[in-house]
C-alpha cells in the first residue's frame, strides 16, 4: 500500500507524520513537496522575523491531541504560551517534527519535487514529477495549500511585469527594492497587508502607504490576555440549528456588547462553523460571501496585539491611509504606477501616482481560474471539480474529491485551504490538524486492508525505471 501526499506544508507534513507513526510499516507514505518550503509551506516558510503567528503559542501544537506541543517544544512558561511568536519559529518546529518522524519511520519517503500531474490507472494513480519521473500510488492526497495569486484585475501587463509591481509579497526580498520614502499602494487590507506593513515598518519606511479594499476594514487585534471563554447563548444555538445567517448576525451583536470581550463570542462560534456552513444552501452561502464575509473576516482572523499596535500607530500618524475603494485601472508610466481608484460610495474616479503597487488580496483557491500546473491539469482532466463559489475543490464528506460529474474518485483526497468550499473554516492550524487526524485514521484503515493483500512496491526502483524510458 502506498499513500502519496502532494504538498509539504502544514497539512501535508502533519498528515505524513501521523500516517508514518500510526500505519503499519507495510504502508508506505510518500510526501512530495517543492524544495523551497518543504515541511513548512508558504505561511511558515516564506516569512520574516517580524511576521507573527495569529494564534497563541499554547494552542498551536500540530497534534490535535496535544495542542501544547509547540509551546512545550520551545519550553515556554505560562506567559509565553499566551504570546504570539514569529511564524519562523513555527516553521522550525514543523521541520523538526518531520525530521523526527523520518528518523523513526522506515515507511516515510520525502521527495523534494513538484508533482505536475496525477493520472488514474486502474483503481490507483500515477504521480508525475517535474523531472519527468513517475510512480504508482494506491491513494493520493492533494495538500496543495492555497494557490498562487492571479493577476489583479485592472493591472496593466507592463506594470504587472515591472519592478514596480509586487505580486507575491512574501517571496524572498520582494520588498527589499522599495526605497524607504517610496509611496506604496497595497491592494487588500487583511492579514497579508498586515505582513507587508510590518516588513516596511521594520525596514524604516517613511513614505506614505495607502491600503484599499472593497470595505476598507482592518483586521482586529487579539488582546494580550485571552478573554474568558463563554457558553453559546440559546439565541446563537438556535441560529446555528436553523442555519440562519440573519439570526446569527442579529444574535451576535447584542451578545458582543454585554460580555467582557467580544472576541470570546467569535471563538465560541468557531467550532460550530464547519457544520453550519455544510448545512447552508448554496443561495445562503453566496449571500454570506457577498454581505457578511468582509465583516466576519476582520473579527475572525485577528492579528497579534503587537501587529495591531504598529497598524494603529501608523494610521494615527497619517503614514498609513486605509480606504474603502476599488482599483479600477493601474498602468506603468515613466514616473511610476498611475492608479485609478474609485472610493466606495462615490461615482468619481481619482488618479494617483505610486512608486509601488503590492498585491495583498489573500488566499486564492479558485481552481477553475488557476494556472497552478497540477490543479489546472486535474481540473481539465475532470478528476477534480470547482466549488460553485470559487472557494476550492468539491469533495465528499470523507474528503474524496468529486469529479466533473460529481462522483467521488475513490482514493483521491484533498486536505487544506482548498476545502473552503466544503467546510469554510479550514484555513488555520486548529481546524487543519483535526482534518489531518481524521483523514489519517481513514487512510490508516484503508491501508491495513490493502496490506492484508500483501502489496508492496519499491519507490526508488520505480522512479529510476520511469526515467530510463
Ligand X SMILES: Cc1cc2nc3c(=O)[nH]c(=O)nc-3n(C[C@H](O)[C@H](O)[C@H](O)COP(=O)(O)OP(=O)(O)OC[C@H]3O[C@@H](n4cnc5c(N)ncnc54)[C@H](O)[C@@H]3O)c2cc1C
The count of other CB atoms within 10 Å of the CB of residue 468 is: 6
Distance of alpha carbon 294 from alpha carbon 214, whole angstroms: 9
Could you tell me the CA-to-CA distances from 305 to 85, 163, 322, 323 in Å, in that order? 11, 33, 19, 22
Rg (CA), the chain: 23
Residue 327 binds ligand X (CB under 6 A)? no
Residue range at the interface with ligand X (CB under 6 A); choices 203-211, 284-292, 403-411, 425-433: 425-433
Position 111 contacts ligand X (CB under 6 A) = no
Single out the residue of 416, 421, 435, 443 in contact with ligand X (rule: CB under 6 A). Answer: 416
Q: Which of 5, 18, 20, 33 binds ligand X (CB under 6 A)?
A: 33
Q: Is 54 in the site for ligand X (CB under 6 A)?
A: yes
CA 2 to chain centre: 27
CA-closest candidate to residue 435, choices 412, 419, 449: 419
- Under the binding rule (CB under 6 A), the answer on residue 289 touching ligand X is no
**What does the per-residue mask of binding to ligand X show for 5-24, with x meaning CB under 6 A?**
-xxxxxxx------------
- Using CB under 6 A, which of 259, 428, 446, 459 touches ligand X? 428
Nearer to ligand X among residue 115 and residue 239 (C-beta): 115
Instruction: Give the closest residue to 148 by CA, choosing from 440, 427, 365, 335.
Output: 365
Does residue 268 interact with ligand X by CB under 6 A?
no
Where does residue 426 rank: exposed (0-12), middle (13-18), buried (19+ CB within 10 A)?
buried
500510526: which residue's cell? 22
**Per rule CB under 6 A, is residue 143 in the interface with ligand X?**
yes
Longest dimension (CA), the chain: 70
Measured at the CA of 30, the angle between CA 24 and CA 35, to 5 degrees, comes to: 145
Among residues 58, 61, 91, 145, the one that binds ligand X under rule CB under 6 A: 145
463 binds ligand X (CB under 6 A): no
CB of 130 to ligand X, least distance (A): 8
Binds ligand X (CB under 6 A): choice among 16, 18, 110, 144: 144
Please tell me whether residue 55 binds ligand X under the rule CB under 6 A.
yes
Which of 12/124 has CB closer to ligand X? 12
Nearest to 143 by CA among 124, 115, 119, 120: 115
Contacting positions for ligand X (CB under 6 A): 6-12, 32-34, 37, 41-43, 53-55, 87, 114-115, 143-146, 374, 416-417, 427-429, 432
Amino acid at each position: 500500500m502506498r499513500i502519496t501526499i502532494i504538498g509539504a506544508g502544514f497539512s501535508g507534513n502533519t498528515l505524513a507524520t501521523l500516517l508514518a507513526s500510526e500505519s503499519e510499516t507495510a504502508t508506505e507514505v510518500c510526501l512530495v513537496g517543492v524544495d523551497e518550503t518543504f515541511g513548512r509551506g508558504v505561511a511558515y516558510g516564506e516569512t520574516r522575523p517580524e511576521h507573527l503567528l495569529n494564534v497563541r503559542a499554547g494552542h498551536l501544537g500540530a497534534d490535535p491531541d496535544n495542542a501544547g506541543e509547540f509551546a512545550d517544544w520551545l519550553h515556554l512558561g505560562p506567559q509565553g504560551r499566551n504570546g504570539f511568536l514569529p511564524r519562523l519559529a513555527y516553521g522550525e518546529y514543523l521541520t523538526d517534527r518531520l525530521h523526527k518522524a523520518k528518523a523513526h519511520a522506515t515507511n516515510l519517503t520525502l521527495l523534494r519535487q513538484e508533482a505536475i500531474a496525477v493520472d488514474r490507472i486502474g483503481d490507483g494513480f500515477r504521480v508525475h514529477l517535474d523531472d519527468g519521473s513517475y510512480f504508482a500510488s494506491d491513494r493520493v492526497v492533494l495538500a496543495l495549500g492555497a494557490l498562487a495569486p492571479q493577476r489583479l484585475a485592472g493591472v496593466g501587463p507592463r506594470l504587472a511585469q515591472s519592478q514596480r509591481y509586487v505580486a507575491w509579497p512574501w517571496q524572498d526580498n520582494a520588498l527589499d527594492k522599495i526605497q524607504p520614502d517610496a509611496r506604496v499602494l497595497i491592494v487588500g487590507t487583511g492579514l497579508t497587508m498586515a505582513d507587508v506593513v510590518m516588513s516596511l515598518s521594520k525596514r524604516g519606511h517613511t513614505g506614505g502607504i495607502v491600503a484599499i479594499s472593497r470595505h476598507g476594514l482592518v483586521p482586529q487585534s487579539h488582546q494580550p490576555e485571552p478573554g474568558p471563554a463563554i457558553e453559546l447563548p440559546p439565541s446563537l444555538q438556535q441560529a446555528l440549528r436553523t442555519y440562519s445567517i440573519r439570526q446569527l448576525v442579529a444574535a451576535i451583536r447584542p451578545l458582543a456588547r454585554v460580555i467582557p470581550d467580544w472576541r470570546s463570542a467569535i471563538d465560541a462560534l468557531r467550532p460550530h462553523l464547519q457544520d453550519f456552513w455544510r448545512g447552508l444552501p448554496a443561495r445562503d452561502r453566496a449571500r454570506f460571501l457577498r454581505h457578511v464575509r468582509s465583516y466576519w473576516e476582520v473579527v475572525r482572523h485577528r492579528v497579534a496585539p503587537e501587529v495591531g499596535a504598529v497598524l494603529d500607530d501608523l494610521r494615527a500618524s497619517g503614514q498609513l491611509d486605509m480606504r474603502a475603494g476599488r482599483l479600477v485601472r493601474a498602468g506603468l508610466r515613466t514616473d511610476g504606477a498611475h492608479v485609478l481608484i474609485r472610493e466606495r460610495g462615490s461615482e468619481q474616479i481619482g488618479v494617483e501616482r505610486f512608486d509601488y503597487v503590492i498585491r495583498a488580496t489573500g488566499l486564492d483557491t479558485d481552481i477553475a481560474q488557476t494556472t497552478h500546473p497540477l490543479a489546472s491539469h486535474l481540473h481539465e482532466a475532470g478528476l477534480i471539480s470547482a466549488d460553485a463559489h470559487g472557494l476550492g475543490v468539491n469533495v465528499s464528506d470523507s474528503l474524496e474529491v468529486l469529479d466533473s460529474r460529481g462522483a467521488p474518485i475513490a482514493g483521491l483526497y484533498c486536505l487544506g485551504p482548498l476545502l473552503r468550499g466544503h467546510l469554510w473554516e479550514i484555513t488555520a492550524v486548529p481546524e487543519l490538524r483535526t482534518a489531518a487526524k481524521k483523514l489519517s485514521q481513514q487512510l490508516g484503515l484503508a491501508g491495513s486492508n490493502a496490506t492484508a493483500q500483501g502489496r508492496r512496491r519499491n519507490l526508488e526502483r520505480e522512479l529510476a525505471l520511469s526515467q530510463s524510458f
